[in-house]
Amino acid sequence: MRAALSDDFGFIETIATSKSIDIDHPLAPYFYYDNYEHDFTFNYMRSASNFFPPRLGLFPSLLFQNSYLCISLFFGFFAYAGSIRVFKFFYHYYPTYKREIALAAIYIPSVCFWSAGLLKDSITFGCIGFILYGTLNVFVRKTNIKGSVLWIVIASILLFYIKVYILLAFILALTIWLFAETNKIIADTTLRKVFSFITLIVSVLIAYLLLNYFTSQEAAENFKLETLMEKSERQRRALQSVSTAGNSAFEINASNPFSLVFGSIVATFFRPFIWEINTPIALFSAVESFIFLILTLNFFIKKGIGVYFRSIFSDPKLLMCFVFAVVFAVAVGASTTNFGALSRYKIPCMPFYFIMLLLVYKKASLPYPKWFSTLFKKIA
């Protein structure tokens, strides 16, 4: 794109108005090769989700004379701004647990790593924070409404074109949170039960519309319910047809919906296991997953699964975290075939699961394990 503008700055309008690039596009010659023999870069640019990030990167590229460090800082600061807003959202409701919230929202190592460069994930992670905090301002705090609505619209557009399934999962989680918050303030028991039933029906309806109407768009069609299992199985068959020695491929039993959902959740939050590590980068992801697994199992053993879910469903904010984390985990876990890619794809849901897990401990008055308490004190 820089080369195109160097030849003719009039291409700026073409870049701004194009959603993707094919062989007949005026910009195709500038994307023809990418320093690899027979690697035609414009093939990647046929997808709007692939073309959008470099378009956004063009501005800092021109501003900072094509410095990759400055471009990465530009994207990284946006992601960091989003993580700060995730922190501010939960701090609004749980001011006494600010250190736990800060640890989960800002300081997860793999989230910091994968949201700090010229990647889709830096943009999408930042967008989640802006949408979340903007929704709080508009519907709860009733402050800075115009600015918050503007950021919600901008972030939603970015998510729609870059990774629409994140937007779908997040809209569902936010809707359930808002309905649940409204339900809590109803004093009459009978009316509250009626509203709870209506909330359930509306949530199911919204989920159906999101997964069937909006996923009729080209960017989201792979995440329709009826195609998710087929897509997952097809990807895994393709993976098995080539040699997987030395990489980080993993398998999920996709023979039935329950196995697919359960396997996807386990892969997203609790894998790779320690014995599945084969690269230095995977070590960080494995340590995080191990901490998540031990903390979750410790709660189940000490307090029981029933208390775990009662704590979640009794608090609208934790319910929102649960819905977003689980739906997102299924989406990425079912459609990803190696831990390297999964460690990057899953970063939007990691803070929400970790915040939910730590706050569940607090709500149940269960002390953290001694090793985690020691680690937490050193970090915090």
> For 223-235, how does the pLDDT look when each residue is reduced to its tens digit (9 = 90+)?
554 555 555 555 5
Please tell me the distance from the alpha carbon of residue 352 to that of residue 172, in angstroms, as a whole number: 14
In a domain, 59, yes or no: no
Residues 27 and 154 in one domain: no
Residues 286 and 138 in one domain: yes
In a domain, 60, yes or no: no
Q: What pLDDT does 3 receive?
A: 87
Please tell me the distance from the alpha carbon of residue 103 to that of residue 295, in angstroms, as a whole number: 15
Judged by average pLDDT, the poorest of 192-206, 237-251, 345-359 is: 237-251
Region 260-285: mean pLDDT is 83
Higher-pLDDT residue of 101, 338: 101
Cβ atoms of 71 and 78 within 8 Å: the answer is no
Cβ atoms of 306 and 160 within 8 Å: the answer is no
Residues 33 and 99 in one domain: no
CB atoms within 10 A of CB 313: 12
Does residue 313 carry a pLDDT above 50? Answer: yes
Q: What pLDDT does 187 receive?
A: 66
Residue found under tokens 């402050």: 143
- pTM of the shown model: 0.87
Residues 27 and 95 in one domain: no
Q: What pLDDT does 37 receive?
A: 60
In a domain, 313, yes or no: yes
The number of residues making up the chain comes to 380
The C-alpha angle 134, 292, 274, rounded to 5 degrees, equals 135
Residues 306 and 367 in one domain: yes
Residues 10 and 124 in one domain: no
In a domain, 64, yes or no: no
In a domain, 245, yes or no: no
**Average per-residue pLDDT in the chain?**
83
CA distances from 23 to 15, 45, 66 (A): 15, 10, 26
Number of independent structural domains in the chain: 2
CB atoms within 10 A of CB 316: 19
Residues 34 and 118 in one domain: no
Query: Residue 268 is encoded by which pair of tokens?
Result: 């997203």
Region 95-122: mean pLDDT is 92
Residue found under tokens 């901008």: 154
Amino acid identity for residue 127 in this structure: C
With bands split at pLDDT 50, 70 and 90, how would you rate the model's confidence at 222? Answer: low
Higher-pLDDT residue of 202, 125: 125
Residues 36 and 81 in one domain: no
Q: What pLDDT does 212 receive?
A: 57
> In sequence order, which ranges of the chain are alpha helices (DSSP H)?
2-7, 11-17, 48-63, 68-93, 98-106, 109-114, 120-136, 145-162, 164-184, 189-212, 225-240, 257-270, 280-303, 305-313, 316-334, 339-345, 350-363, 370-379
Region 63-72: mean pLDDT is 93
Please tell me the distance from the alpha carbon of residue 285 to that of residue 112, in angstroms, as a whole number: 12
Judged by average pLDDT, the poorest of 61-65, 83-87, 353-357, 373-377 is: 373-377
Residues 84 and 159 in one domain: yes
Residues 24 and 75 in one domain: no
Q: What pLDDT does 218 receive?
A: 47
> For 21-43, how does the pLDDT look when each residue is reduced to its tens digit (9 = 90+)?
888 888 888 887 655 566 566 77
Residues 229 and 323 in one domain: yes
With bands split at pLDDT 50, 70 and 90, how would you rate the model's confidence at 172? Answer: confident
Residues 95 and 167 in one domain: yes
DSSP string covering 158-182, please? HHHHH-HHHHHHHHHHHHHHHHHHH
Which domain, by its residues, includes 344? 70-239+250-379
Region 241-254: mean pLDDT is 57
With bands split at pLDDT 50, 70 and 90, how would you rate the model's confidence at 219? Answer: very low
Q: What pLDDT does 242 receive?
A: 45
As beta bridge partners, residue 249 has 338
In a domain, 302, yes or no: yes
Region 262-285: mean pLDDT is 84
In a domain, 272, yes or no: yes
In a domain, 161, yes or no: yes
